[in-house]
Amino acid sequence: MSELSVNHLLGIKYLNKKDIKLIFETADHFKEVINRPIKKVPSLRDITIANLFFENSTRTKLSFELAEKRLSADVLNFSSAQSSVKKGETLIDTVNNILSMKVDMVVMRHPNPGAGVFLSKHVKASIINAGDGAHEHPTQALLDSYSIREKLGEVKGKKIVIVGDILHSRVALSNIFALQLQGAEVMVCGPKTLLPKYIGKLGVKVETDLRKALNWCDVANMLRVQNERMDISYFPSTREYTQQFGVTKALLNSLDKKITIMHPGPINRGVEITSDVADSDQAIILDQVQNGVAVRMAVIYLLASKIKQ
């Protein structure tokens, strides 16, 4: 039987091509399950999963929780809205709690990059990174690629542009790694101030003209401006940002071809995309959300089957 090459999902950078293929094939099966009248399977009846969220989240938290429940796991939820969590102290407290509760798996969102790696070195539980600061968000990238595969048949050879606040985005980095692993061509597009200086070294194309980027791509993944991670002004005003990097229906209609629009959510309607784009038949934003449950079920199931051995 095939299995993942890793015991934790800490970032896409630790995965290989076969892992992604296995996750997608397993997700295909779970997608079929969650569309049945009885949406639950007993696979993880003896597994306990703790969801530790040290940062705000709506869909990622709900999606993980639903995925765990559909697999019949026991679920513990912990949320902390604090923004100034001191990494060492809080994580060690967390570790002690986890150890005493005999938890098998931890899903963690944390403001500090590397928090998942840190935890994986201190607990026996299997760790899933649900977003660590501006670093990685591996399950988001997996569900994004899964949605591209569903819409366009395959990811290999497709041209994907990631638009917006690349500098502060964990979705961008994980997507770049995942798409490249699968043989897609990746471009990033945004204001110069929101493009990391060395981004080209990751092997992506860099563009600051949105129209050119959209005319090049098959898929545009539109990112939210991460105001909560900004301590200085990166562009003169939201209005100017929208004029240069916002996608409107008029802009989409004026392109040479019909491209697919993605967004990890939450959307700031009228900033990175207008409502008529978000709600158009070119957008697969709600498919991404739906696929997120199946992809997370696959990741949890595959990691849990390694724990039992």
List of residues contacting ligand NCD (CB under 6 A):
59-60, 131, 137, 140, 170-171, 224, 264-265
Q: How far is the CB of 59 from ligand NCD (least distance, A)?
A: 5
Q: How far is the CB of 8 from ligand NCD (least distance, A)?
A: 19
CA distances for 159 relative to 173, 174, 215, angstroms: 16, 16, 10
H runs (alpha helix) in 7-58: 17-34
Q: How far is the CB of 256 from ligand NCD (least distance, A)?
A: 29
Is the bond into 196 cis (omega within 30 degrees of 0)? Answer: no
Which one, 70 or 170, has the nearer CB to ligand NCD?
Answer: 170
Which one, 60 or 242, has the nearer CB to ligand NCD?
Answer: 60
Amino acid type, 106:
V
Q: How far is the CB of 308 from ligand NCD (least distance, A)?
A: 29
Q: How far is the CB of 110 from ligand NCD (least distance, A)?
A: 12
Which one, 41 or 62, has the nearer CB to ligand NCD?
Answer: 62
d(CA 14, CA 155): 19
Q: How far is the CB of 254 from ligand NCD (least distance, A)?
A: 27
Which one, 62 or 123, has the nearer CB to ligand NCD?
Answer: 62
**Which one-letter DSSP state was computed for residue 46?**
T
Long-range contacts of 99-104 (CB under 8 A, 24+ apart): 99/123, 99/124, 101/48, 101/50, 101/76, 102/48, 103/48, 103/49, 103/50, 103/76, 104/47, 104/48, 104/49, 104/304, 104/307
Which one, 23 or 271, has the nearer CB to ligand NCD?
Answer: 271
Closest-CB residue for ligand NCD? 224
Which one, 167 or 171, has the nearer CB to ligand NCD?
Answer: 171
Measured at the CA of 223, the angle between CA 219 and CA 227, to 5 degrees, comes to: 170
Closest by CA to 240, choosing from 212, 271, 267, 211, is 271
